[in-house]
Amino acid sequence: MTPSSSIDTAGAAPHDEHHDHHPSYLVDGTTIKSWILTVDHKRIGLMFLFFVLLFFLVGGIFALLIRLELLTPGPTIMDAMTYNRTFTLHGLVMIFLFMIPAIPAVFGNFMLPLMLGAKDVAFPRLNLASLYIYLTGAVFMLWGMLNGGLDTGWTFYTPYSTHTTTTVAPVMFGAFIIGFSSIATGINFIVTCHTMRAPGITWFKMPLFVWAIYATSCIQVLATPVIGLLTVLVAVENLFSFGMFDPARGGDPVLFQHLFWFYSHPAVYIMVLPAFGVMSEIVSTYSRKNIFGYRAVAYSSLGIAFVGFFAWGHHMFVSGQSTFDAGVFGVLTMLVGVFTAIKVFNWVGTVYKGAVDFKTPFAYFCGFLFFTVFGGMTGIALGTVSLDVAWHDTYFVVAHFHFIMVGATIMAFLAALHYWFPKMFGRTYHEGWGLVSAALIILGFNATFIPQFLLGNNGMPRRYYDYPERFQALNVASTAGATLLAFGFIIIAMYLTYSLVYGKVAGKNPWRSKGYEWLSESPPPTHNFVGPQPTFPEEPHFYVDPKKAEVPDAV
């Protein structure tokens, strides 16, 4: 028996409404207008999901083209210029249009108000605006990529980016616009956390996903303006020969790198912190356990967000910055590793004395654990300065950041998609196919990127169109892995689409989770909760036998 009676909303009957029928948000208005002008956070989250998946498809196709080109040395399927534009497009689309918005804008939008017992986010119209700002930026970016293309890599390093004849301006303008979307979403979530928590939800009763989104939002609000300003500076340099970054005019190309990484390093945490949050929810739900060290996990999110701002220089150990700088940034990088280690240990600790149900999201948790540990440890290895001298800008770095940024984020994205699928659509996916595709994806991901670690060790630099013969075997292995990975995604796309329509009806709480979001209907009605404002006396993830329920006060 679960003590659902301890939560007011659970059994609350709809009262004094004119009609006691509350349609789910999916059918509450079916015209196109009711979708594109909606201010419902759930519909906005769903629209984000659609576009984020679309851009993931685009970025993924380009990833496969890159892998195909690298199957053999020399030209394979495209020429050098096309290749350079392809990897630039892959990076830009994946980072700005997929990874950064993926979890916060989709699942953050959908779940955050539900988890806080709120009817919506603090600024619903701003929320809708952030979707359209994002799309406007995407249009500029893709327009620029298709009209002339850009061959600088997603890092836009000067002076190459101010000299190249390809179209830098529209793409950078696109990045500038998308930044506003990121900031708006961040502000919205921060204010929602501060002002919209239902009675009973104190700061330390917030679900850990909310903590992660909160920390992420702080980074978004503080770091994104820097890349905004930087894109403007590069544009001005390009148009008016400003001499900010051009040494021929007394500028400094390394200054660009400082400004760029001051945003882009924290941006890595914009991508992985929400993933950490998702995993905290999932490990708790599927092992039916309270989080082992709730406060440690919550604080470490804030710790990563904070320290993440002071580690950017580790991208520049061989850029000619001072040795002292390298030392400072090296030490600070280690701290990020320690905060991540705390999380990993506490996730594993959560399973201790739990009751594990090995469902698809939990399979992704296993993959995630591996990618985070391995990606994180290789990150630490890159932070030990002398090793970075050998590895910098080789495939080792490519493999490392794909493990931690992409591996961990994709695991969390897919886990979240499966975990919250019943909540979002009211139907369940097919468990068998779920496990098969999870295995395929985890296997494919490892097969793609483990050879790349070895390629890096062997000395293959990144962004290489052509390579010496000796690198070929590992490249073939990597391409084979990428193919496997693609198959995994195709299977997921097929059965999830099928489940949308034909999946079993899920019911309110198919996982018997104690997460707050499961207290509302599946799918939830437009204003999330029927009846009066719910109160939440228990902490989330409280799976203790009600007869012994007086235990917790510690944490």
Q: Which of residues 312-371 bind other proteins (CB under 8 A)?
A: 317-320, 323, 326-327, 330-331, 334, 337-338, 341-342, 344-346, 348-349, 351-358, 366, 369-370
314/484 Cα distance (integer angstroms): 33
Range 326-343 burial, b when 16+ CB lie within 10 A, else e: beebbebbebbbebbbbb
CB of 551: closest distance to other proteins in angstroms? Answer: 4
Among 24, 72, 136, 164, binds other proteins (CB under 8 A): 164
Site residues (CB under 8 A) for other proteins, limited to 528-547: 542-545
Residue 464 lies near other proteins (rule: CB under 8 A): yes
- Of 262 and 292, nearer to other proteins (C-beta) is 292
Site residues (CB under 8 A) for other proteins, limited to 7-46: none
Site residues (CB under 8 A) for other proteins, limited to 293-312: 293-294, 296
- Of 16 and 553, nearer to other proteins (C-beta) is 553
> Treating both helix axes as pointing N-terminal to C-terminal, what angle do 41-69 and 472-502 enclose, rounded to 10 degrees?
150
- Of 134 and 518, nearer to other proteins (C-beta) is 518
- Of 124 and 159, nearer to other proteins (C-beta) is 159
- Of 123 and 299, nearer to other proteins (C-beta) is 299
3-state secondary structure 139-193: HHHHHHHHCCCCCCCCCCCCCHHHHCCCCHHHHHHHHHHHHHHHHHHHHHHHHHH
405/183 Cα distance (integer angstroms): 20
Among 124, 149, 153, 531, binds other proteins (CB under 8 A): 153
Stretch that binds other proteins, among 130-138, 156-164, 219-227, 490-498 (CB under 8 A): 156-164
296 closest CA partner among 231, 344, 353, 336: 344
Contact flags string 80-119 toward other proteins, x per CB under 8 A: xx--x-----------------------------------
- Of 87 and 209, nearer to other proteins (C-beta) is 87
Stretch that binds other proteins, among 140-148, 439-447, 454-462, 498-506 (CB under 8 A): 454-462
CB of 250: closest distance to other proteins in angstroms? Answer: 8
Stretch that binds other proteins, among 125-133, 304-312, 372-380, 488-496 (CB under 8 A): 372-380
Stretch that binds other proteins, among 19-27, 53-61, 148-156, 421-429 (CB under 8 A): 148-156
Range 1-31 burial, b when 16+ CB lie within 10 A, else e: eeeeeebbbbeeeeeeeeeeebeebbebbee
For residue 403, how many C-alpha atoms fall within 13 Å in the half-sphere facing its CB? 24
465 closest CA partner among 5, 85, 4: 85
Among 232, 494, 505, 551, binds other proteins (CB under 8 A): 551
Contact flags string 380-419 toward other proteins, x per CB under 8 A: xx-xxxxxxxx-xxx-------------------------
- Of 136 and 321, nearer to other proteins (C-beta) is 321
Radius of gyration of the chain measured on its C-alpha atoms: 23
- Of 398 and 416, nearer to other proteins (C-beta) is 398
- Of 187 and 296, nearer to other proteins (C-beta) is 296
| Number of residues in contact with other proteins under rule CB under 8 A | 98
Stretch that binds other proteins, among 134-142, 416-424, 428-436, 458-466 (CB under 8 A): 458-466
In whole angstroms, how far apart are CA 396 and each of 337, 381, 390, 476, 509?
18, 10, 10, 16, 43
What single-letter amino acid sits at 297?
V
359/434 Cα distance (integer angstroms): 8
In whole angstroms, how far apart are CA 368 and each of 278, 329, 476?
11, 27, 25
Among 14, 149, 200, 461, binds other proteins (CB under 8 A): 461
- Of 355 and 490, nearer to other proteins (C-beta) is 355
Among 148, 159, 200, 225, binds other proteins (CB under 8 A): 159
Burial class (CB in 10 A: 0-12, 13-18, 19+), 464: middle
- Of 341 and 500, nearer to other proteins (C-beta) is 341
DSSP string for residues in 380-416: HHHHSHHHHHHHTTBHHHHHHHIIIIIIHHHHHHHHH
524 closest CA partner among 433, 425, 439, 457: 425
Contact flags string 496-515 toward other proteins, x per CB under 8 A: ----------------x---
Residues in Cβ contact with 38 at an 8 Å cutoff, skipping those fewer than 6 apart: 29, 44, 128
Among 96, 368, 374, 489, binds other proteins (CB under 8 A): 374
Alpha helices, DSSP H, located in 70-149: 80-92, 100-101, 109-115, 124-146
Query: Phi and psi for 461 in degrees, rounded to 5?
Result: -70, 155
206/209 Cα distance (integer angstroms): 8
CB of 338: closest distance to other proteins in angstroms? Answer: 5
Site residues (CB under 8 A) for other proteins, limited to 233-292: 247-248, 253-254, 287-290, 292
What single-letter amino acid sits at 502?
Y
